[in-house]
């Protein structure tokens, strides 16, 4: 009887395993969404104008000659449409070091203080808006690309005793998403 009981238990176990395999799936699957949001890279280019103050006659008094943004340098920013970007710039220290090394004289520096405006997607200087360094601005959608046009002018701070010579410096605009 003990042998029959063992056979019965063993048979029950084997039949249970066979039955469970009969109802088990041989494969299964699940899905996941794949998403990539490709953003157009940012670029900024000087497309016109300059910040050339020309010849300035020193007269022994402080001077602050200026260039209007409409007459200064013009930049085009391109990127992803309707994305916010941060625009950064700062004042520029100009020096006459190169001129003095060639011609002699006294080294000097002076500061260019920029005034920056934007006209959205307009390539003409109409209804300009002030641009403050470090603030966020939205690229305007034009046929699937984002644009913002910048116009840069500003003024020089010339001291009463400013050394003469040709002064140079570099103005930079930085943009970031």
Question: Taking residues 122-143, what's their average pLDDT?
Answer: 98
Neighbours of 73 (CB within 10 A): 22
Average pLDDT, integer, range 129-147: 99
Query: What are the tokens at 83?
Result: 């994305």
pLDDT at 19 over 80: no
The residue that leads in pLDDT, 81 or 21, is 81
In a domain, 2, yes or no: no
Nearest to 106 by CA among 159, 169, 171: 159
- Within a domain: residue 141? yes
pLDDT for 24 equals 62
> Rounded to two decimals, what is the model's pTM?
0.80
pLDDT, average across residues 135-158 = 99
pLDDT(105) > 60: yes
pLDDT at 20 over 80: no
**Domain contains 34:** no
pLDDT at 17: 53
Is 10 within the bounds of a domain? no
Report the CATH number at residue 138: 2.60.40
Our measurement of the distance from residue 51's CA atom to the centroid of its chain's CA atoms, rounded to an integer in Å, reads 22
Distances (CA, A) of 46 to 125, 148, 153, 162: 15, 12, 13, 30
Q: Are 145 and 42 in contact (CB under 8 A)?
A: no
What is the domain extent for residue 65?
43-176
How many CA within 13 A on the CB side of residue 144? Answer: 1
In a domain, 50, yes or no: yes
pLDDT digits (tens, 9 = 90+) for 35-47: 999 999 999 999 9
Which residues are paired to 138 by β-bridges?
A: 84
Confidence of residue 110 (pLDDT cuts 50, 70, 90): very high
The answer to whether residue 104 is domain-embedded is yes
Task: Report the number of distinct structural domains present in the chain.
Answer: 1
- Residue 109, in any domain of the structure: yes
> Is position 26 within any domain?
no
Question: Contact 96/162 with Cβ under 8 angstroms?
Answer: no
Band (152; pLDDT cuts 50, 70, 90)? very high
7 pLDDT higher than 80: no
Q: Could you read off the pLDDT of 57-83 as tens digits, one per residue?
A: 999 999 999 999 999 999 999 999 999
pLDDT at 25: 75
Q: What is the Cα–Cα distance from 42 to 75, expressed in whole angstroms? A: 13
């Amino acid at each position: 009887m003990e042998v029959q009981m063992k056979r019965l238990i063993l048979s029950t176990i084997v039949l249970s395993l066979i039955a469970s395999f009969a109802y088990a799936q041989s494969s299964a699957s699940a899905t996941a969404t794949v998403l990539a949001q490709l953003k157009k890279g940012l670029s900024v280019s000087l497309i016109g104008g300059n910040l050339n103050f020309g010849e300035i006659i020193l007269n022994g008094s402080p001077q602050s000659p200026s260039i209007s943004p409409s007459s200064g340098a013009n930049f085009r920013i391109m990127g992803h449409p309707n994305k916010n970007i941060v625009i950064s710039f700062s004042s520029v220290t100009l020096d006459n070091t190169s001129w003095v090394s060639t011609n002699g004289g006294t080294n000097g520096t002076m500061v260019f203080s920029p005034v920056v405006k934007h006209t959205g997607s307009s390539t003409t200087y109409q209804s300009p808006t002030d641009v403050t360094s470090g603030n966020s601005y939205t690229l305007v959608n034009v046929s699937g690309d984002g644009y913002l046009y910048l116009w840069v002018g500003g003024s020089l701070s010339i001291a009463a005793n400013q050394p003469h010579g040709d002064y140079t410096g570099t103005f930079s605009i930085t943009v970031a998403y």
